[in-house]
Structure 1
């Protein structure tokens, strides 16, 4: 007890100072309205910043669910757009598309859990597999355009070789006003040359077809795994060798493979029927 009293005796001036400070602040607040307003505003500012930080933290925590919700919504819209485009056919054509053929493509959302972009053969791994109805050979697209094709599947995962793979080819078509007005179709094969992770080559486009920088390159109707008119990219550079029959085209990819989060696996319900018929014809 004597030690406690001794400690208080040694600190008595500190406690006296603290007591006088409290009295001083109380008198200032009571007699100075501006100071009271400033304290009130500062307190409100701190509270507002704290609430804003808390809201941003909640937004981040729910971002995964929000992205998945948007991916599913985009999936529904994509299905409707593809079915509509396939049912309409070309505007200048008299041909009427069969409804079963128009609705032959199904889509399924999957999440990217691993990917590469810096190799000659780049792959993507997704969180859907055989148990989800995914099979090798199915096409894969992203929110912005073509991604690749399913290579192999386990029960719960699938491996995709992306368009950034030197073995992948996709039948493509150049779209522009000149070709449309002249009734021409500019078909070619888009393939990666291994030089850049955002540029592919488009070959076998006749040099007499009028194409230009900025023209859109989309999947053609001669695709088994993709619906027509899915964006591949836009023409970045056009050169035509004097002794060649085709344009040399560089195409900037629509898909950002470095930031790919969700993809859509495309299933063509009529692919087996078409392939079986074509094999029968080849065997004759």
Structure 2
């Protein structure tokens, strides 16, 4: 307390000067319309700027919650869209999918906690595991396209084999050309992927969308994989050399959706039974 008193005694002249300046400033503002208006406008401008900075800081602090809410909303919309597509497939008008088939896909939102893109075989770790109903073999998509397939799980985490893996294949379909092929990463650039097994005698257009085909039990049909970037004939072969721009940007992957096909085990069991009888 004594040191505080000593400080005021030592600084009494400066403190008096500051008080007199504030008093003069007060009298100037209150006795002059011009300076009063100037002060009012200036203070409002700076107050508005400070308020804008405060709002921007609050919005930035809430981005994590906003992103999580958007991911949950996308999960709901994905389920509704997939159900609608499964209920109305490209088939004769008299065909109608039964309710179990239309509702066979379920989506679970998860956050990416680790992700590699620089290796020949890349993996992704998410914060959902067996306690959340995740199992090996389930497909994984992003809000923009295909991501990969669940490889292993524990109670709270799962590791996904990324589509950026040299041995991972995805049954694919060219939308305009209506041709079935296989998407496979060549291990070079994480922005691009190859589309294999498309006959060079089939017309392929740059910009054509490539989506998951109905010839797999992992993904719903129609999930975007990429768009055709370039088309060229493969030397000494009867196939196109097709490069796609990947729809999913793996460099900033934050949220993904794990796809459960409720009828997958039933389908694969039947197909395996047929293969064993051959």
Task: Provide the C-alpha distance between the structure 1 equivalents of 2:246 and 2:11, rounded to a whole number of angstroms.
Answer: 77
Q: Equivalences for 1:114-153 in 2 at 5 Å?
A: 114-153=114-153
Distance 1:26 1:126, change over 3 A: closer
Q: Which runs of 5+ in 1 are unaligned?
A: 180-184
Aligned to 2:61: 61
Deviations 1:100-139 (A, max 9, x none): 2222111111111111111111111000001111001100
**Structure-2 residue corresponding to 1:167:** 167
Q: Distance in 2 between matches of 1:109 and 1:143?
A: 10
Q: Deviations over 1:167-204 (max 9, x none)?
A: 1110000011xx3xxxxx30100010011011000000
| TM-aligned CA deviation for residue 61 of structure 1 | 2.1
TM-score normalised per structure 2: 0.90
8 Å CA contact retained: 2:29, 2:39: no
Larger Rg: 1
Alignment partner of 1:273 is 2:266: yes
- Indicate if the aligned counterparts of 2:141 and 2:148 stay in contact, CA closer than 8 A: yes
After superposition, the CA RMSD in angstroms is 2.3
Note closer, same or farther for the CA distance 1:39–1:169 as it changes in structure 2 (3 Å cut): same
Q: Partner of 1:194: helix, strand, or coil?
A: coil
Match of 1:218 in 2: 211
1:201-235 per-position Cα deviation (integer Å, ceiling 9, x unaligned):
00001112211110000000001100000000100
The 2-side partners of 1:201 and 1:117 are apart by 16
Query: What SS does structure 2 have at the residue aligned with 1:136?
Result: coil
How far apart in 2 are the matches of 1:239 and 1:66? 43
- Which whole-Å CA distance do the structure 1 matches of 2:22 and 2:68 have between them? 55
Is 1:198–2:191 an aligned residue pair?
A: yes
- In the alignment, the residues of structure 2 paired with residue 15 and residue 138 of structure 1 have an alpha-carbon distance, to the nearest angstrom, of 72
Per the normalisation by structure 1, the TM-score is 0.88
Measured in 2, the distance between the counterparts of 1:175 and 1:190 equals 14
> What is the distance in 2 between the residues matched to 1:10 and 1:207?
89
Q: Secondary structure at the match of 1:49?
A: helix
Q: Return the offset for 1:15.
A: 7.0
- The equivalent of 2:98 in structure 1 is 98
Question: Residues 10 and 76 of structure 1: is their aligned pair in 2 closer, same or farther, counting only changes over 3 Å?
Answer: closer
For this pair of structures, how many residues does the alignment match? 272
SS of structure 2 residue aligned to 1:75: helix
| CA positional deviation for 1:141 | 0.1
Structure 1 runs (4+) deviating above 6 angstroms are 7-11
